[in-house]
Chains A and B, each alone.
Chain A
Amino acid sequence: AQTVTQSQPEMSVQEAETVTLSCTYDTSESDYYLFWYKQPPSRQMILVIRQEAYKQQNATENRFSVNFQKAAKSFSLKISDSQLGDAAMYFCAHSGGSNYKLTFGKGTLLTVNP
């Protein structure tokens, strides 16, 4: 069974600084995708970034980047130049199998301090 673990229930960062959110996963599949979702107070789930397991290059989307370590089954999210609008719950997710099911971690609540 696939599992996704986010070991940091809460994190905080000062505005304009950098923060890294951790995620590890367990899977028996060789072909899969990994995602980070953001859930602000509105509770709308927003896709932040995705990573294809067969690509060694780490994905980047503006201030958001990942550190994908396939052998270690680690997929951390780095937020650079943190902004107040980055404050949210962040979920790591793994997609594998033929039915496209996503398995989510329990989330990390990020607070951005002005």
Chain B
Amino acid sequence: SQTIHQWPATLVQPVGSPLSLECTVEGTSNPNLYWYRQAAGRGLQLLFYSVGIGQISSEVPQNLSASRPQDRQFILSSKKLLLSDSGFYLCAWSVHRGQGYTFGSGTRLTVV
């Protein structure tokens, strides 16, 4: 069966520190992968998506970047966090348009 793992669940980081959030998918090959951010408990904003290894598309210019070093691994990074980067980050995967997304359990990031 397919599963998605996302970690850490909670993170508190000081302003200016680096960030690395990781997401891995099991049980499927060549998934489309997505990073979303949800601020203030509402609205999901698509940050990045990837249709294959090394292929990253950015939806919103920002302080964050994404990488896909392996087929089922998706990483969200920042070199220097801003207060405005605080939020709830969700990773998701899909292999078929009609499937919708399967989401990870999310990471709550607080930048202090």
Name which residue of chain A comes closest to B88, CB basis.
A43
Let me know if A47 is at the binding interface, CB within 8 A.
Answer: yes
Do A95 and B97 touch (CB < 8 A)? Answer: yes
Which residues on the B side are within 8 Å of A78 (C-beta)?
Answer: none
- Which segment, of B13-21, B22-30, B66-74, B100-108, faces chain A? B100-108
Let me know if A52 is at the binding interface, CB within 8 A.
Answer: yes
Let me know if B94 is at the binding interface, CB within 8 A.
Answer: yes
Interface residues on B, range: 20 to 34
Residue pairs across A and B with CB atoms within 8 Å: the count is 55
Do A44 and B105 touch (CB < 8 A)? Answer: yes
Residues of A within 8 A of B (CB): 32-33, 35, 37, 42-45, 47, 50, 52, 89, 91, 93, 95-96, 99-102, 104, 106-107
Residues of B within 8 A of A (CB): 32, 34, 38, 41-44, 46, 49, 51, 57, 88, 90, 92, 94, 96-98, 100-103, 105-106, 108
6 extra interface residue pairs, beta carbon distance < 8 Å, beyond A33-B100, A45-B101: A35-B100, A45-B90, A45-B92, A89-B42, A95-B97, A99-B49
